[in-house]
Amino acid sequence: MPQASVTDFTHRLVPSPAGRIHLVEQGSGPLVLLVHGFPESWYAWRHQLPVLAAAGYRAAALDVRGYGRSSRPEAVDAYRMLELVEDNVAVVEALGERSAVIVGHDWGATIAATSALVRPDVFRAVGLLSVPYTPPGGPRPSEVFAGMGGPEEFYVSYFQRPGRAEAEIEPDVRGWLAGFYAALSAGTMPAPGAPDPHFVAPGGTLRDRFPSGRRPAWLTEHDLDVYAGEFERTGLTGALNRYRNMDRDWSDLAPYAGAPLPQPSLFLGGTLDASTMWLSDAIAAFPTTLPRLTSSHLLEGAGHFLQQERPEETGRLLTGWLTAVDQPRG
């Protein structure tokens, strides 16, 4: 797929409850808001922005608060899910729109789903990549994660204490990111039966299990430079604070326990992605939790970073779904 020149993209800073949100947009037409995951930025959608624009949409990829050029509040609890929902609403309003389709990947999928759940008046369709929808409720997240892995520590638990993961990552941001991307991508992830990079051995670090000296096919030197440059400038604390609010989210979203998403929806997952495998029960529950699911695809042989590993397929499936979604044109 030809890669759009950065000069084709329009960068904006818009006001939000965070202070400001940076976004990159292309095209005109109905608004599609694109929300990235960890540890990425708006740049994760670089392949899809021109495709959506060519299909007649106004595509806007944002930096979630704590990332890139968006504001980075100091308080840990400033990164709770409801705050991120309000950022998304503010972006739609700042762009002069009353509603949008929202599409997210990884953490962005959960942010997108919660935005659609809490503000259905603004978000009239929702696309989820890599992480399926699971309604709020159930056991407290910290208790679930603490019970995973036996003597090893699940990465979400490892991320909880401020400063701990930062001390691992920030001395070598570029190397850590390259290893993290490789660990979750098809072609470079550890072979079945190898130590799982989602878990930390006692006294170890997460990067101990990253593939050594291997870069995913989708990740060019330039791409890695872009990501590393952003995180070397901002640090990782804002991004990691998202993980440090999961119990707060559990309390905040208690009124929505068990609630389905009634909007038209899409799900894309990779068959080699741990998120897809771990949450297979959530995918099986889609007839109940996503009653208006109109497009669902598991991409054979794909890992976690779908829109970068499989840019053409992701773009085609997104635009096909959007065309089928009933939204005004003009």
| DSSP β-bridge partners for residue 12 | 23
Q: What angle do CA 147, 149, 150 make, to 5 degrees?
A: 75
Q: 220 φ, ψ to 5°?
A: -80, 165
Higher pLDDT, 328 or 122: 122
What is the residue type of 239?
Answer: A
How many structural domains are present in the chain? 1
| DSSP β-bridge partners for residue 24 | 11, 61
For position 299, what pLDDT does the model report?
97
Question: In the predicted model, is pLDDT for residue 327 greater than 80?
Answer: no
For position 326, what pLDDT does the model report?
61
pLDDT band with cut points at 50, 70 and 90 for residue 213: confident
Q: Which residues contact 288 (CB under 8 A, 6 or more apart)?
A: 260
Tokens representing 253 are: 């979203």
Q: Is the residue at 330 inside a domain?
A: no
Q: Is the residue at 241 inside a domain?
A: yes
Q: Is the residue at 200 inside a domain?
A: yes
Task: Show the domain range for 229.
Answer: 6-324
Question: In the predicted model, is pLDDT for residue 7 greater than 80?
Answer: no
Q: 31 φ, ψ to 5°?
A: -80, 130
Question: In the predicted model, is pLDDT for residue 6 greater than 50?
Answer: no
Report the pLDDT averaged over residues 101-105: 98
Distances (CA, A) of 74 to 161, 221, 239, 241: 15, 31, 12, 10
pLDDT digits (tens, 9 = 90+) for 14-61: 999 999 999 999 999 999 999 999 999 999 999 999 999 999 999 999
Q: Is the residue at 60 inside a domain?
A: yes
Higher pLDDT, 6 or 276: 276
Higher pLDDT, 13 or 327: 13
Cα separation, 107 vs 305, whole angstroms = 12
- The sign one gets for the Cα dihedral 58, 62, 42, 197 is negative
Q: Is the residue at 162 inside a domain?
A: yes
pLDDT digits (tens, 9 = 90+) for 167-212: 999 999 999 999 999 999 999 999 999 999 999 999 999 999 999 8
Cα separation, 27 vs 119, whole angstroms = 25
Residue with tokens 């759009």: 4
For position 222, what pLDDT does the model report?
97
For position 3, what pLDDT does the model report?
44
Q: CA-based diameter of the chain, in Å?
A: 58
Active site residue ranges: 106, 304
Question: In the predicted model, is pLDDT for residue 5 greater than 80?
Answer: no
Annotate the chain with three-state secondary structure. CCCCCHHHCEEEEEEECCEEEEEEEECCCCEEEEECCCCCCHHHHCCHHHHHHHCCCEEEEECCCCCCCCCCCCCHHHHCHHHHHHHHHHHHHHCCCCCEEEEEECHHHHHHHHHHHHCCCCEEEEEEECCCCCCCCCCCHHHHHHCCCCCCEEHHHHCCCCCHHHHHHHHHHHHHHHHHHHHHCCCCCCCCCCCCCCEECCCCCHHHHCCCCCCCCCCCHHHHHHHHHHHHHHCCHHHHHCHHHHHHHHHHCHHHCCCCCCCCEEEEEECCCHHHHHCHHHHHCHHHHCCCEEEEEEECCCCCCHHHHCHHHHHHHHHHHHHHCCCCCC
Tokens representing 141 are: 């997240």
**Among candidate residues 91, 81, 141, the one with its CA nearest the CA of residue 115:** 81
Cα separation, 15 vs 20, whole angstroms = 4
Question: In the predicted model, is pLDDT for residue 330 greater than 80?
Answer: no
Q: Is the residue at 135 inside a domain?
A: yes
Q: Is the residue at 234 inside a domain?
A: yes
Q: What is the CATH number of the domain that holds 16?
A: 3.40.50.1820
Question: In the predicted model, is pLDDT for residue 97 greater than 60?
Answer: yes
Cα separation, 101 vs 3, whole angstroms = 24
Q: Is the residue at 97 inside a domain?
A: yes
pLDDT digits (tens, 9 = 90+) for 109-153: 999 999 999 999 999 999 999 999 999 999 999 999 999 989 999
Higher pLDDT, 89 or 149: 89
pLDDT band with cut points at 50, 70 and 90 for residue 214: confident
